[in-house]
Amino acid sequence: MPQSTKKTCVIIGAGHAGSVLAVQLRKEGWTDRIVLIGEEAHLPYHRPPLSKDLLAGEKEVAGIALRGQAAYDAAEVEMRLGERVERVIPELRTLRLSSGEELVYDALALCTGASVRHIELGDGLDGVHYLRTADDAMAIRTDMRPGGKAVVVGGGYIGLEVASVLARKGMHVTLLERAGRILERVTSPVISEYFTALHQDNGVDIVTDAVVTGIGGEGRVSSVLCEDGSEYAADLVVIGVGVNPESTLAEEAGLQVGNGIVVDEYTRTSVAEVYAAGDCTWHPSALYGRQLRLESVQNALDQARVAAANIAGREVKYEALPWFWSDQYDIKLQIAGLPIDYDHFVIRGDRLNRDGRGFAVFYFRGEKMVAADCVDRSAEFLVCKKLIGKQLPVNMQALADEAWGPDSFEMRDDFL
Ligand code: FAD
């Protein structure tokens, strides 16, 4: 019998990155075998709705699939859902599944994402939740009660989105944040203040400098205790205190790991024929001059496309501009770039007047725009994505002055 000459690319993790990588690899001309292995039983799905429409009951799990089964069939992607990879042995180009089965690969992509950080309080009590998967979101939905008391631990984007849904569903919501302001890790005080006021207007109590030390109850949660002795009654607790990159598999396989799986600009790990994409990576950014670990759909999709191109034999660098969004109540925040290492900012619009016209904050390092937070300002967001991504010169006069439209933000010769 002649030996099969077909090669196999195995992708571990059937989330945003894994799903795109599989389908894109076929588009890149890979004619051999593609196997996509995912621990969750659902077809790969959009995660953002978990703290938005799905949590609010406006969508169901089947309605948030990234693509239907037919798309994987058409791309001849072998789906292995509900299966976990336990070990990767790069020397043998082999991996072992939880079932005990072994698979040999020629190319491997790690798209293992991230998993929630646990605070190890209230474990085992009904009504205490974390949120990363569709099953988590459905469990929170089941516990939502109009008129009930909810405590959200953590004032990052996910905690705030959850608080906005719970408040809209008629729950009395208290949000406890350990830092001095919400969103401290990810944005400026201006944006933190705006979202604090927005939540307060919608009846959410925001408590900062609140260090949670206990979650109590008998069988079911009934209270949350803080270090300063304050206690909050709770029928439902949702904990959103960040995620850790899923890099254990990589570490055990001897791959270089920092704040995630270390990859170069071609999405290659430290081991030959092993690539990585998405939330699990610690990757270089030429634009920001540092290694980054991003938790965003943009990063997962763009990096996965680059990985697919490189696995298929092209040489493509990952150079995409980071961008992100968050929906709270009827407000859309869109973020272009990363508001880090800035030395000053410019505000456009009236941030105190919530009249539906929105506002934007543009962050600069010297003359270089490094990020923009745009609240209900999609036109500004789109222009800033281009300005930051292409490092174009900025017409400073136009930024704060609404007499100038966003199309005037780029410095052109006729403005000189
Ligand atoms: P994931 O989507 O996490 O997929 C990784 C998959 O790998 C998981 O299904 C996991 O089970 C599987 N896996 C891990 N290890 C193994 C193993 N050993 N064997 C088999 N399978 C394994 N981003 C935005 O840009 N905008 C938003 O508004 C936004 N909202 C969000 C709201 C919520 C509630 C959450 C949780 C995330 C949100 N994000 C948002 C972030 C975004 O969803 C992630 O950045 C994105 O999902 C990352 O994709 P990924 O493929 O890297 O990882």
CA distances from 21 to 13, 81, 304, 305, 308 (A): 10, 16, 5, 6, 5
Name which residue sits closest to atom 7 of ligand 1, judged by CA: 13
Ligand 1 centroid–CA 114 distance in Å is 6
pLDDT digits (tens, 9 = 90+) for 173-213: 999 999 999 999 999 999 999 999 999 999 999 999 999 99
CATH of 330-408, one of 3.30.390.30, 3.30.1390.20, 3.40.50.1980, 3.30.360.10: 3.30.390.30
CATH number corresponding to 118-241:
3.50.50.60
Ligand 1 centroid–CA 396 distance in Å is 38
Ligand 1 pocket residue status of 339, Cβ below 6 Å = no
CB atoms within 10 A of CB 196: 21
Average pLDDT along the chain: 96
Ligand 1 centroid–CA 284 distance in Å is 20
Ligand 1 pocket residue status of 235, Cβ below 6 Å = no
Same fold, 8-115+244-311 and 330-408: no
Q: How far apart are CA 172 and CA 331, in angstroms?
A: 20
pLDDT digits (tens, 9 = 90+) for 268-282: 999 999 999 999 999
The string of DSSP codes covering 157-200 is: HHHHHHHHHHHHTT-EEEEE-SSSSTTTTTS-HHHHHHHHHHHH
CATH superfamily of 8-115+244-311: FAD/NAD(P)-binding domain (3.50.50.60)
Q: What is the pTM of this model?
A: 0.96
pLDDT digits (tens, 9 = 90+) for 203-234: 999 999 999 999 999 999 999 999 999 999 99
Ligand 1 pocket residue status of 358, Cβ below 6 Å = no
Summarize the confidence of residues 295-304 as an average pLDDT: 98
Residue 152: HSE in the Cβ half-sphere, 13 Å Cα cutoff? 32
Name which residue sits closest to atom 29 of ligand 1, judged by CA: 48
Spatial neighbors of 63 by CB under 8 A, at least 6 apart, are none
pLDDT digits (tens, 9 = 90+) for 68-121: 999 999 999 999 999 999 999 999 999 999 999 999 999 999 999 999 999 999
Hey, where are the domains in the chain? 8-115+244-311, 118-241, 330-408
Ligand 1 pocket residue status of 12, Cβ below 6 Å = yes
Ligand 1 pocket residue status of 361, Cβ below 6 Å = no
